[in-house]
Amino acid sequence: MNVSGKIVVVTGAAQGIGRALAERFHREGAAHVVAADLNEAGAKDTARAVNGTGFRCDVSNSAEVAHFIDEVETRIGPVGLMCSNAGIIAFEPDKQNIGSAPDEVWARCMGVNVMAHVYAARALVPRMVARGGGYFLHTVSAAGLLSQIGSATYATTKHAAIGFAEILAITHRDDGIKVSVLCPQGVDTDMLRTSPSGGGPASADGVLSAEQVADAVVAGLDAERFLILPHPIVETYFRNKLNNYDRWIGGMAKLRRSFAAGH
């Protein structure tokens, strides 16, 4: 897919990967870039930088997403590329109990990391089917293919996000709808900077800039690849996991021990 001439929506666009995507799509010739975020001021700041439009939207709220998509399609035009990029992470309060995150944290992570993709599809699939196609880009994480040491909520919801992207791609392939999932490891964003371990294992293979991730996205969309892996080593790890699941779990447990001991 070439974004030139397309209307592109990016959620989680106030900063980080979302802002870098908005800026890169603008440079690639998108007809209009819509920046959405719970942080309305940040979304509008990104929009100003790309001559686009900024919206406030809580992507974990189905009604807000439906209203937001209606507004975009009515006021601006048909969405050609929907980038569900917003995401959150939470770490267990009790490091000795991986199930210790409270219910409200699980619910919030599920809402942002999984249901946001569902709500975007719910609002846009009928429209895309009617006009013969469209494209979804879901920012997930390498954690969706591998895991996230120290965060059951993140690892679990990112795996679920991969599952939804797969079934979306399978079900609507014949409708002309394409799907890509963006699965980076360490990226120089606030999420990485504020993590308790400074990124932990996710940064072990190098930390990319948000702009480097946006470069990988443009290349991945151009090739219409389902998996977009800014860190190519992730594919090797994923193959190792599939080739010997038990050995992979043992290796991940060893990795956890090394980071718990201060690396």
Paired residues of 178 in beta bridges: 135
What contacts 215, CB < 8 A, 6 or more positions away? 24
CA 226 and chain centroid, separation: 13
Residue 255's Cβ-count burial label (10 Å; 0-12, 13-18, 19+) is middle
DSSP state of 93: S
Task: Return the pLDDT at 258.
Answer: 86
DSSP state of 231: S
Q: Give the pairing type, strands 134-139 and 177-182.
A: parallel
Q: Which are the catalytic amino acids?
A: 154
DSSP state of 113: I
DSSP state of 4: T
Task: Return the pLDDT at 95.
Answer: 86
The domains of the chain are located at: 7-234
Task: Return the pLDDT at 232.
Answer: 96
Q: Rounded to whole angstroms, what are the CA distances from 114 to 73, 106, 131?
A: 23, 11, 26
Tokens in use for 41? 């001021």
Neighbouring CB atoms inside 10 A of 21's CB total 31
Task: Return the pLDDT at 205.
Answer: 75
Superfamily of structural domain 7-234: NAD(P)-binding Rossmann-like Domain (3.40.50.720)
Residue pLDDT tens, the chain, 263 long = 999 999 999 999 999 999 999 999 999 999 999 999 999 999 999 999 999 999 999 999 999 999 999 999 999 999 999 999 999 999 999 988 999 999 999 999 999 999 999 999 999 999 999 999 999 999 999 999 999 999 999 999 999 999 999 999 999 999 999 999 999 999 988 766 566 555 556 566 789 999 999 999 999 999 999 999 999 999 999 999 999 999 999 999 999 888 776 54
